[in-house]
């Protein structure tokens, strides 16, 4: 896939768990600012308060980083972080919704729930990335992105601190890319450089 093909994507969704934080920080450092790219991040932290996580991510990112709030509009040039204790969904109108539903793969927020809702809302404009993690959350959601025409990237399990999450995706389907951390950084840089305006692509 060459750089020009990344121009089709205006929203970047990233999911990860154990062992993914360092990769996420490196990816965020690569994002150019300002950009028309919107970033949504779901990371298993085990905490209801993601304020400290947002502070840490802000140190590695030129874009504003904040917890995604119920009813808030997904906006470009911003990193939206799923809070703890609720599932985060993106509705077709481009707004966030919080749901206190059953835990999925023993976690809430669930990467699957977020990815599936974003796949329905953004289809071919969505790029989904699944990183290191110690459970299978995210595989089904990433597959939904793939089925609805979005770009799918899975961290190479050989480079992951916890292999189960990326391996679960690879067992389910063949993603567009299976990438090392450095390749993930390069992809994020290209997507953020080439992202088009969300509103003009609706």
- DSSP for residue 123: G
The total of structural domains in the chain comes to: 1
**pTM for the full predicted model:** 0.93
What pLDDT is stored for residue 195 in this prediction? 78
Residue ranges of the chain with per-residue pLDDT less than 70: 1-7, 196-202
Residue 178 falls inside a structural domain: yes
**Identified catalytic residue from 8, 17, 87, 143:** 17
CATH of the domain at 114: 3.40.50.180
In a domain, 185, yes or no: yes
Instruction: Report d(CA 51, CA 98) in Å as an integer.
Output: 17
Question: Among residues 137, 143, 146, 179, which one is catalytic?
Answer: 137
Identified catalytic residue from 8, 20, 44, 117: 44
Question: pLDDT digits over 108-151, tens only?
Answer: 999 999 999 999 999 999 999 999 999 999 999 999 999 999 99
Note whether residue 201 is domain-resident: no
Q: Does residue 139 sit within a domain?
A: yes
In a domain, 42, yes or no: yes
Q: Is residue 202 a part of any domain in this protein? A: no
Task: Check residue 124 and give left, alpha or beta (phi > 0: left; psi -120 to 50: alpha).
Answer: alpha
179 assigned to some structural domain? yes
CB-based burial, 142-169: b 16+ in 10 Å, e otherwise = bbbbbebebbbbbbbbebbbbbbbbbbb
Candidates 131, 141, 122; CA nearest to 76 is 122
Q: Among this protein's residues, is 179 annotated catalytic?
A: no
Please tell me the distance from the alpha carbon of residue 140 to that of residue 85, in angstroms, as a whole number. Answer: 20
Q: Domain of residue 73: give its range.
A: 3-196
**192 catalytic residue (yes or no):** no
Does residue 137 have an active-site annotation?
Answer: yes
Is 163 within a domain?
A: yes
């Amino acid at each position: 896939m060459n750089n020009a093909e990344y121009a089709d994507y205006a929203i970047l969704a990233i999911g990860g768990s154990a062992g993914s934080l360092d990769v996420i920080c490196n990816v965020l450092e690569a994002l150019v600012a300002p950009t028309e790219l919107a970033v949504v991040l779901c990371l298993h932290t085990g905490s209801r308060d993601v304020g400290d996580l947002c502070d840490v991510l802000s140190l590695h990112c030129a874009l504003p980083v904040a917890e995604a709030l119920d009813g808030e509009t997904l906006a470009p040039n911003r990193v939206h972080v799923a809070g703890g204790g609720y599932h985060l969904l993106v509705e077709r109108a481009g707004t966030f919704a919080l749901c206190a539903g059953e835990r999925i793969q023993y976690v809430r927020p669930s990467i699957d729930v977020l990815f599936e809702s974003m796949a329905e809302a953004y289809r071919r404009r969505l790029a989904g990335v699944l990183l290191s993690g110690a459970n299978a959350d995210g595989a089904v959601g990433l597959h939904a992105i793939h089925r609805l025409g979005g770009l799918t990237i899975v961290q190479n399990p050989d480079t992951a601190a916890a292999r189960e999450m990326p391996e679960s995706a690879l067992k389910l389907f063949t993603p567009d890319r299976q990438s090392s951390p450095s390749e993930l950084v390069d992809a994020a840089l290209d997507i953020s450089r080439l992202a088009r305006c969300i509103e003009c692509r609706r």
